[in-house]
Amino acid sequence: METFNVFEKIFGLNFLSALISVILPLVFLIIYALIAILGELKISAWIQERLGPMRTGPYGILQPLAEVVKLIQKEDIVPAGANRLLFNLAPYVIFAGSFAGFAVIPFSAAFVPAEINIGLFYVFAVGAFAVIGIVMGGWASNNKYSLLGAMRSASQMISYEIPGALVILSAAVLANSLDMQKITTLQDGGFWNWFLFGGPGNWTKIWIIPFTLLLSLIYMIASLAETNRTPFDIPEGESELVAGYHTEYSGMKFAMFFFAEYSNMFIVAAILTVVFLGGWTSPFGTFMGGFWWGIFWFILKAMFIVFIQIWLRWTLPRVRVDQLMYLGWKVLLPFSLVCFIVISLYRIIY
Amino acid sequence: MEVEDIYIKLKEKFGEAIIDLVNNPPSDPFINVSPEKLFDICLELRDNPEFDFDYLMCLSGLDYVDNLQVVYHIYSMKKKHKIVLKVTVPKENPKVPSIERIWRSADWHEREAYDLFGIIFEGHHNLIRILLPYDWEGYPLRKDYKEPEFYHGIRVPY
Amino acid sequence: MTTTKFVDIDFSKIDSDRMRLNVGPQHPSTHGVLRLEVELDGEVVTNVIPHIGYLHRCFEKIAENMNYQQVIPYIDRMDYISSMNNELPYVMAVEKLLGIKVPEKVEYIRVIMCELNRIANHQIAIATFGLDAGAFTPFLYLFRDREYILWIFEKATGGRLLFNYFWVGGLANDVYPTFKEDVLNIVKQVRKTNKEIEELLIYNKIFIDRTANVGILPADVAINYGCSGPVLRGSGVPFDLRKAEPYSIYDRFDFEIPVGKGEVGTVGDCWDRNIVRMREMEQSCRIIEQAIEQMPDTGDVQSAIPKKVRPPKGEIYFRCENPKGELGFYVVSDGKDKPYRVKGRAPSFVNLSVLPEISRGYLFADLIVILGSIDIVLGEIDR
């Protein structure tokens, strides 16, 4: 099989290339997380007519570094009566779950850390890992707020995986593949080939454009719920549950939760980018295409989705548990089912 | 309705239980009533459509050295008239019937008066301290109140 | 090895279907140091028991040891976000006992200050209510506007939060020369932001879903519980002391009493209580504009201040429309220069007592919203 991993091509399939393939996304994740934290601070400040952090470095750009240093210095507290093993393990389980998702994300035409042909399925499978970590942490904290938050989170994430999975399924039907690299290459050649606009094909695709648009919207909403972002941040809704499942965590363990949240945000943004926005392909056909531009386009598109997530967080209030369930089961699920059926029919007919 | 009319009407109905009407401006006029009949008087004030007092504005305790007083400020939303009732009880046995069942706003007010004056409202469903800690001793707003030296090993005055 | 037994409980007797959750005294949305003992069945609230008194200073005992003027700073600290409105009923009660008539200019300045403070208070109430529902941005918009009002207070009185500005018989000092222009600018700014807030928060679909049909307080229950202010008016009762018993010079102004009509839900729900505050801000703006127009330019604000405040023997209960409801002071004088008894009838204290009644059967997230819609200040509840 032809490999897309440039390091395997150079070094061959050995330990060194595997190590680089692991470390590179990790480094990227850390840099991205710092930028996203700064983005969160600055975008919220911009929306709220504030300045945001201004003291650390020029325009406060070193603020995320300062926060990380602060978190490292903090005392690591394990509450009395907590289950030590599970309590200590939970943040790493969550982080591992979200980091594992990076394995199959095609950053560019020439770089996918691990090339497997069921990439989309894999991302979904390891994404569900986070639920275990959250319930673990929430239960082990021996705190009622944590427990409530964890329970809410579990029900929320499991519920919203179903419309999300249906969206992915529709895309897989459309692309005839679960391979993320293949889905991306299919959409090459300009933005009109993106699955957001029905994917590649002749004029008959205009019948399904409304449905693909709807699907991407459904995935956007479901992904907000899966990453526990506003308006679906009820597991950690600070006005009710103080901080939800991570109430009792401090220091680096809290930082792990923090990193995991931002990493999850990037993963769902990456899936949305790959499936609907053409991944690393250039929106203008061959113009600005190629390996390096691929990385640029991919990160730009993913960051735009992350920006939308941040934007929504600072605009909308929080929904209630029952309204969240209502939206998930009675609105998103039927709509995604309808879209799935329509797209399947389209594939059969054309 | 003026206070005098209310006083006359109440006097007709309850006789001895309505003691007197005190009216010397600029003070608010008030009616002294005896504690035994207080509940019935309040019920009459609320349920008689002539009076229609549906709103208990304020309930305060008062300490006049040898006896305690409870003052009720009552208002009618519909008829826009108000009345002040006063009940005087001896300090040794400060028992007043609770009117919590008539106006629910009396619930917390009575608990507060119990908390700060030690007035016992008979028939209150949950007469416990409200502002002070549940195990506090003494009633601070009484004129002869002495601060305790220590509370759970913490020095109180400083 | 010995095993330690922490608690001696007969576990068979525990109601294992329900969870007891202590919300507070340290919790982001109890608006202070309130403790709610909440009994939860899953996420459904089956009972709420408020425990108050964490901020108790026994203001009433302190007041008995101060002379009449010295009580005012303590009254500021009752409802610390609308101090001007707090001072007014106390000052007017003592003035009534003394039989003092204050100059026209003082009355106008008092009304303007009270209405400005009402706007500031409602801004906080709406902001924190939005925060309870999870919307953070309107909070900062409203706080920015409140800052402008505080600047006026700071320039006029020297204090931003606790003023000690209204004295028995007058004011601490006259307002500064550009006061009128500043106030009119504020009115403009408040109206502009209110439009923004209505779009961003009040008519937001999620916000309506969260607050409409939640915590319904019927009118008769509200009256029986002694609720007042926006909580009572949200239930559709057009009762405002400024209209019902016009004190000061409120009978000279033309304004309306906004009431809850159940536009998006049922009459008396959280959304109605909130919209009443929103519309009251507009009415306050109208009162301020009229007052600025009518206010005399000249006059000595201290001409009626008595040398020694020693009211004759008597007692008085005077109530005013505080932003949170009916704030009354029961002042008993025994003819000395210290009050024999001062009792504050705090609106938040009475309004909070209705919380268990209206929050049973709703979800835990609703309880927070209901608590936010009542708009309490613990300094006033605990006194």
What are the extents of the domains in chain B?
3-155
Q: How far is A313 from chain C (nearest CA, A)?
A: 8
Q: How far is C104 from chain B (nearest CA, A)?
A: 21
Q: Do A239 and C201 touch (CB under 8 A)?
A: no
Q: Do A48 and C136 touch (CB under 8 A)?
A: yes
Give contacts of C332 with chain B, Cβ < 8 Å.
62
| Tens-digit pLDDT profile for residues C8-28 | 556 666 666 777 888 878 787
CA–CA gap between residue C284 and residue C117 (Å, rounded)? 10
Residues 6+ apart with CB under 8 A from B3: B21, B23, B29, B31, B83
Give contacts of C99 with chain B, Cβ < 8 Å.
26
> Does residue C238 sit at the B interface (CB-CB below 8 Å)?
no
CA–CA gap between residue A243 and residue A237 (Å, rounded)? 6
pLDDT at A121: 84
pLDDT at C177: 85
* DSSP structure class, residue A334: H
Considering only CB atoms, C225 lies closest to which of B105, B133, B140, namely: B105
> Does residue B104 sit at the C interface (CB-CB below 8 Å)?
yes
Closest CA relative to residue A227, chosen from A235, A217, A215, A218: A235
Is the pLDDT assigned to residue C137 strictly greater than 80?
yes
CA–CA gap between residue C118 and residue C246 (Å, rounded)? 17
Q: Do C209 and A234 touch (CB under 8 A)?
A: no
pLDDT at A4: 61
Is the pLDDT assigned to residue C36 strictly greater than 80?
yes
Considering only CB atoms, C316 lies closest to which of B27, B56, B103, namely: B27
Question: What class has domain B3-155?
Answer: alpha beta
Identify the closest residue of chain A to C22 by CA–CA distance. Answer: A144
pLDDT at C8: 58
Give contacts of C366 with chain A, Cβ < 8 Å.
320
Q: Which of A239, A318, A326 to mutate to test the interface with C (most CBs of C within 10 A)?
A: A239
pLDDT at C268: 84
- If pLDDT is split at 50, 70 and 90, which confidence band does A40 have? confident
Is the pLDDT assigned to residue C4 strictly greater than 60?
no
Q: What is the DSSP track for C282-299?
A: HHHHHHHHHHHHH--S--
Query: Three-class SS string for B57-116?
Result: EEEEEEEECCEEEEEEEEECCCCCCEEEEEEEEECCCCEEECCCCCCCCHHHHHHHHHHH
| Tens-digit pLDDT profile for residues A285-312 | 777 766 777 788 888 888 888 888 888 8
Is the pLDDT assigned to residue A240 strictly greater than 80?
no
Give contacts of B54 with chain C, Cβ < 8 Å.
223-224
Is the pLDDT assigned to residue A329 strictly greater than 80?
yes
Per the DSSP assignment, residues forming a β-bridge with C38 are C21, C48
Residue reference for tokens 């979800």: C363
| Tens-digit pLDDT profile for residues A142-178 | 888 888 888 888 888 888 888 888 888 888 888 888 8
Global confidence as pTM: 0.84
Q: Do B104 and C224 touch (CB under 8 A)?
A: yes
| Residue C333: half-sphere exposure toward Cβ, Cα within 13 Å | 25
Mode of pairing for the β-strands spanning B95-97 and B120-122: parallel
> Per-residue pLDDT averaged across A75-101, rounded?
84
Is the pLDDT assigned to residue C339 strictly greater than 80?
yes
Give contacts of B30 with chain C, Cβ < 8 Å.
315
Phi, psi of C316 (to 5 degrees): -150, 145
> pLDDT under 50 in chain B at which residues?
none
Q: How far is C59 from chain B (nearest CA, A)?
A: 10
> Per-residue pLDDT averaged across A26-44, rounded?
87
- If pLDDT is split at 50, 70 and 90, which confidence band does A1 have? very low
Amino acid identity, position C205? K
CA–CA gap between residue A134 and residue A140 (Å, rounded)? 10
Considering only CB atoms, A317 lies closest to which of C19, C133, C144, namely: C133
> Per-residue pLDDT averaged across C286-294, rounded?
88
Closest CA relative to residue C71, chosen from C164, C193, C188, C185: C164
Is the pLDDT assigned to residue A109 strictly greater than 80?
no
pLDDT at A289: 67
pLDDT at A160: 85
For residues B17 and B34, the answer to whether their CB atoms sit within 8 Å is yes
> Per-residue pLDDT averaged across A106-127, rounded?
79
Q: Which of A70-74, A191-195, A288-292, C131-135 has the lowest average pLDDT? A: A288-292
| Tens-digit pLDDT profile for residues A3-30 | 566 666 666 667 777 787 788 888 888 8
- If pLDDT is split at 50, 70 and 90, which confidence band does C303 have? confident
pLDDT at C1: 46
For residues C322 and C229, the answer to whether their CB atoms sit within 8 Å is yes
Phi, psi of B71 (to 5 degrees): -115, 130
> Per-residue pLDDT averaged across A28-39, rounded?
86
Is the pLDDT assigned to residue C158 strictly greater than 80?
yes
Give contacts of A315 with chain C, Cβ < 8 Å.
135, 137, 200
pLDDT at C267: 85
Residue C15 in tokens: 């109601």
CA–CA gap between residue A101 and residue A123 (Å, rounded)? 5
> Per-residue pLDDT averaged across C188-211, rounded?
87
pLDDT at A95: 86
Q: Do C134 and A231 touch (CB under 8 A)?
A: yes
